[in-house]
Structure 1
Amino acid sequence: MSLEFLITALIVVLVPGTGVVYTVAVGLGKGRQAAIAAAVGCTLGIVPAMIASVVGLAAVMHTSALVFQVVKYAGVAYLLYLAWQTLKASGPLELKADKDARKSLLATARSACLINILNPKLTVFFLAFLPQFVSPLAAHPTIEMLLHGSVFMAMTFAVFTIYGMFAAMVGEKVLRSETVMLWMRRTIAATFTGFGLRLALAEQ
C-alpha cells in the first residue's frame, strides 16, 4: 500500500462533509458515546459503496441517469428530513442526554449510516478512487481494492471519532443555555439543508 494512497485518503477523510457535520452535531449534544456511534454508522455506510465499486455496480450508478437520480433524491430527502428534525427540540439531534441510551445510540448509528448509503456521489467516488491505487500487475486486484477500502474505512472511523470527541468536549463546556442550544440546532439544520441542496444540484 503506497504512501500516496494513505496521504490522499487522509485528506479526503479530513474534509468536512455530511458525515462529519452529523458526528460533530451528535457529539455536541449527546456526548462521547453518541459521537462514537455516529462515527461507526458513517464508517459502515461506506461498505455498500466500497462493495459496489469492487463488483462493478458503481459503473451502473455512473452510467445510469435514472439510478443516480433515484438515489440522489432519496439522499436529498433524507438530509432535509434531518434538517427538519434537528430544528425540533425533541428531534434525534436533541441537545441533551436520552433516557434510553442504547436505543438512542442505535438510532444515531443508523442515521449516520443512511447519510452515506443515500449519497450516490460516494459510490461514484469509490469507483474512480480505489482503482487508481491498485497495481495492474496485482495477482488479486479485488483483494487489493478491498484492502484499500478497509484502510479508508479505518481512517474514516479514527478521524470522525476525533471530531466527535472534540465536539463532545466543547459541548460539555459550552452548551448550557437554551439560547445556545437553539442557535446550534438552527446552524446544524441550515448546514444539512445546504448539503441537501448541493446534492440536488449534483451531476453524474
Structure 2
Amino acid sequence: MEFLLTTLVMTVTPGTGVLYTVSAGLSRGPRASVVAAVGCTLGIVPHMLAAITGLAALLHTSALAFQTLKYLGVAYLLFMAWKTLRDRSALTADRDDAPRSSFRVIVDAVLLNLLNPKLTLFFFAFLPQFVPDGHPHAVLRMLELSGYFMLLTFVVFAAYGRFAAAMRDHVIARPAVVTWLRRVFAGAFAALGAKLALS
C-alpha cells in the first residue's frame, strides 16, 4: 500500500508525460489522449531496465556505491521539489483537429520519455526504498514494482488526458489552484527525499 500511494503521488505530479497527454486530449480528443498515455508508459521501459540493471549490480558488489547512489537520489528528489516549487510555466495547448495516426502519437510519446534522463534517475531514487537489504529475489521484486508503476502511470495519464479532452471547450486558467498544486507536489518530493535519506 505504501508503494502504491507513493507511486500515485509521483504519477499525478505533472511532468512532460502528463503535459503531452493533456495536450493530446485538449487538442485532439479522448482517443488521442489514451494513445498518448500508452506511448508515455512504453517510454518508461528503457529507463526502468537501465535502473534495475545498475541497481542489481550495486546490490551485489558495493554497499558504499549503493549508499552513494542513494544520496544522489535524495539530492535529485530535493532538486525536483525545488524545481516544482519554482516552476511558473502555464499549460497551454493549441487546438489542432488535424488527424494524426496512433503510431505517430505513440512514437512521439515514447521519444519524449526516452529522451528524458530524469526517469532513470527517478527509478534509481525510487526503487531502493521498497527492496529490503538482502532480498533473495531483488531483481524480480524491482520488476514487479516497476510493472505496478507502469500500470498506475497509464491509468493516471489516461485519466488526465480524458479529463482534458472533456474540458477542451471549457479550459479556464486558475493560477491560484495551479500554485497550490505545485506546492503540494514540491512538498511530496521533499518528503520522499527525506524518507530515502533516513532509510
What TM bracket, shorter-length normalisation?
A: 0.5 to 0.7
Q: Distance in 1 between matches of 2:170 and 2:122?
A: 37
Instruction: Give the superposition deviation at 1:96.
Output: 3.4
- Residues 1:163 and 2:160 aligned together: yes
Instruction: Report the secondary structure of 1:16's partner residue.
Output: coil
- Residues 1:34 and 2:53 aligned together: no
Q: Which amino acid in 1 is paired with 2:43?
A: G
Structure 2 counterpart of 1:68: none
The TM-score normalised by the length of structure 1 is: 0.62
Identity %: 47
Q: Which amino acid in 2 is paired with 1:95?
A: R
Structure 2 counterpart of 1:108: 105
Q: Distance in 2 between matches of 1:8 and 1:114?
A: 26
Structure 1 counterpart of 2:96: 96
5+ residue gaps in structure 1?
63-86, 88-92, 181-204
Q: Distance in 2 between matches of 1:139 and 1:98?
A: 52
Instruction: Give the superposition deviation at 1:108.
Output: 1.1
Q: Distance in 1 between matches of 2:143 and 2:119?
A: 16
Structure 1 counterpart of 2:137: 140
The TM-score normalised by the length of structure 2 is: 0.64
Instruction: Report the secondary structure of 1:136's partner residue.
Output: coil
CA RMSD in angstroms, aligned pairs only: 2.6
Q: Which amino acid in 2 is paired with 1:159?
A: V
Q: Distance in 1 between matches of 2:2 and 2:108?
A: 32
How many residue pairs get matched? 140
Q: Which amino acid in 1 is paired with 2:18?
A: V
Q: Distance in 2 between matches of 1:115 and 1:150?
A: 20
| 2:47 maps to which of 36, 49, 57 | 49
Instruction: Give the superposition deviation at 1:157.
Output: 0.3
| 2:4 maps to which of 3, 6, 30 | 6
Q: Distance in 1 between matches of 2:5 and 2:94?
A: 36
Q: Which amino acid in 2 is paired with 1:96?
A: D
Instruction: Give the superposition deviation at 1:138.
Output: 2.4
Instruction: Give the superposition deviation at 1:132.
Output: 1.6
Q: Which amino acid in 2 is paired with 1:23?
A: T
Q: Distance in 2 between matches of 1:125 and 1:38?
A: 21
Instruction: Give the superposition deviation at 1:98.
Output: 3.3
5+ residue gaps in structure 2?
59-68, 70-91, 173-199
